[in-house]
């Protein structure tokens, strides 16, 4: 049986599938040629990440498909319900990349707090002739320890991010419409464990109380953070969005930065991916990454093996 990993899969995933008797194809087929390729090659399993879309037309045109898999969390690039109505299994790997995303968020937050995103640009240009000037320009950093992190969306990734925050000595507050409270267990290198009970509060209270805010919500029709939400925040707040493009109003964000309401912000995802707005790319108050939240070797290994185990479990 053939598996097409159109957006790639880790070697550990290939090895597990091959051992299970599957032929794994890692050719990247262009979207417009995908239907023909799947039918010609008799593909039973299509694995994608965020680059390939699986819509109704493909599902209808490929009767031999049995499983559609998404290496990652969000499945907004797949017509999930329609596929399941047609008898296909749709799988993903919601837990595999949680910690990777959490670490990226904190890479941004630490960098923004100490202006690393700016000084890394300026030092190569001015470090030899304006060292003292740059030192003065970036002398007013802030510490994360003792500050309040507001987490909007307290599922797996939100909780993983909260754990990093707790380890960094931050206070964590969270909003999630589907969760009242949860116990977060931090595991340390020597086997010690510490448990924290986090009770969720209203979105408004999270916005009002937080020094830092991070979004971990699925794609939705309305903005989760728009002009009204920015107005509720503390002056000088720092925000990170490593969830989905379109959950935060980027135009309103730029205005909030200009007014001083938002000091700085991090974006790993964009409304107009893969061509973000130039005003975002050139804004010195923004720390930017090209949708790399789950892009660690460890996460990709976990994603590959998790997909393989699900496929083998479904098809035998």
Positions marked active-site? 244, 273, 291
Alpha-carbon distance 176 to 158, whole Å?
10
Alpha-carbon distance 128 to 122, whole Å?
10
Contact criterion met (CB below 8 Å) for 60 and 83: no
CB neighbourhood size of 194 (10 A): 11
Alpha-carbon distance 97 to 71, whole Å?
9
Contacts of residue 29, defined as CB under 8 A and 6 or more positions apart, other chains included, come to: 4, 6, 37
Residue 221: phi and psi, rounded to 5, are -70, -40
How long, in residues, is the chain?
316
**212-215 and 148-152 strand pairing:** parallel
Give the Å distances, CA to CA, from 204 to 30, 246, 257: 44, 20, 20
Query: Is the preceding omega at residue 274 within 30 degrees of 0, hence cis?
Result: yes
């Amino acid at each position: 049986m053939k598996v097409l990993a159109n957006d790639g899969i880790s070697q550990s995933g290939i090895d597990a599938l091959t051992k299970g008797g599957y032929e794994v194809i890692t050719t990247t087929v262009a979207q417009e040629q995908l239907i023909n390729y799947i039918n010609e090659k008799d593909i039973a399993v299509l694995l994608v990440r965020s680059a390939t879309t699986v819509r109704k037309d493909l599902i209808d045109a490929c009767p031999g498909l049995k499983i559609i898999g998404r290496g990652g969390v969000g499945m907004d690039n797949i017509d999930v319900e329609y596929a399941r109505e047609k008898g296909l299994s749709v799988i993903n790997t919601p837990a595999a990349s949680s910690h990777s995303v959490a670490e990226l968020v904190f890479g941004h937050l630490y960098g923004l707090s100490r202006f690393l995103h700016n000084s890394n640009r300026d030092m190569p240009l001015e470090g030899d002739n304006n060292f003292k000037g740059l030192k003065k320009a970036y002398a007013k950093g802030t510490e994360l320890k003792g500050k309040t992190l507001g987490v909007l969306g307290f599922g797996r990734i939100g909780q993983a991010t909260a754990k990093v925050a707790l380890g960094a000595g931050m206070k964590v507050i969270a909003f999630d419409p589907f969760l009242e409270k949860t116990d977060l267990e931090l595991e340390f290198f020597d086997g010690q464990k510490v448990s924290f009970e986090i009770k969720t509060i209203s979105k408004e209270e999270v916005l009002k109380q937080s020094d830092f805010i991070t979004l971990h919500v699925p794609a939705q029709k309305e903005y989760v953070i728009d002009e009204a939400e920015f107005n509720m925040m503390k002056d000088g707040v720092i925000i990170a969005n490593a969830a989905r493009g379109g959950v935060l109003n980027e135009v309103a964000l730029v205005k909030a930065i200009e007014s001083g309401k938002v000091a700085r912000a991090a974006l790993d995802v964009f409304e107009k991916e893969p061509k973000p707005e130039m005003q975002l790319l050139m804004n010195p108050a923004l720390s930017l990454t090209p949708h790399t939240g789950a892009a660690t070797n460890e996460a990709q290994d976990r994603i590959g093996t998790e997909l393989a185990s699900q496929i083998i479990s479904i098809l035998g």
